[in-house]
Amino acid sequence: MHNKNKEKVYYERGTEELKKKNNRANKLIQEFNKIVVDEATRKEEIIKDLFGSVGMNPSIEHNFHCDLGYNIHVGNDFYAGYNCTILDMAEVRIGDNCMIGPNVGIYTAGHSIEPKGRNKSGYAIPIEIGNDVWIGGSCVILAGVTIGDNSIVAAGSVVTKDVPANTIVAGNPAKILKSI
């Protein structure tokens, strides 16, 4: 894993700088989501332009969304199913041979529990997903989580805490079911 510090990154919503970065990502995402199925080469070009780093053979199905894109780093043979959303206000690092099912949300972003100013600023905490991880459909991975190598997150799980390597987790909140 690359980033063990899990420090919060603070940001203000609505700044011109953030709007500019988000608009860049949104234009690329809009183009990506309109590409016809058999234009795999163009899809890969956009992923490489959008993400911070990309290994070999990335594959992302239609209706993908993210905040900035450049904070997303994926290894070789990365796959994300339909309707994947990655809120990358902080870095999201995903290892090699990872599969993400449909309707998965990976959210680095958070906000104050105090109502005053909640809609004006936020924070984000990096997420790390190791090698050979399988995340089932309709899962949510929350800010600051690390998922260890070879682990499985069962469909519909909400991951609020770190997942050790070689384990299967399930539920809301996700709990360890067994070791692999």
Catalytic residues: 111
pLDDT above 80 (res 2)? no
One-letter amino acid for residue 21 of the chain: K
The token duo for 112 is: 């104050």
Burial class, 51, CB count within 10 angstroms (exposed 0-12 / middle 13-18 / buried 19+): buried
Q: Which single residue is written with the structure tokens 């682990």?
A: 151
9-12 and 121-124 beta bridge pairing: antiparallel
- Total length of the chain: 180
3 pLDDT band, cuts 50/70/90, is: very low
CATH fourth-level superfamily of 9-179: Hexapeptide repeat proteins (2.160.10.10)
1 pLDDT band, cuts 50/70/90, is: very low
Which helix (H) or strand (E) element contains residue 98? none
What was the pLDDT predicted at 4? 56
Cβ contacts of residue 105 below 8 Å, gap of 6+?
84, 85, 86, 87, 139, 140, 141
Q: Closest Cα to residue 29, out of 45, 13, 47?
A: 47
Which helix (H) or strand (E) element contains residue 20? helix 16-34
Between CA 91 and CA 93 the distance in angstroms is: 6
- pTM of the prediction? 0.94
pLDDT tens digits along 75-119: 999 999 999 999 999 999 999 999 999 999 999 999 878 888 778
Over residues 122-133, the mean pLDDT reads 97
Which helix (H) or strand (E) element contains residue 152? strand 152-153
pLDDT tens digits along 13-66: 889 999 999 999 999 999 999 999 889 899 999 999 999 999 999 999 999 999
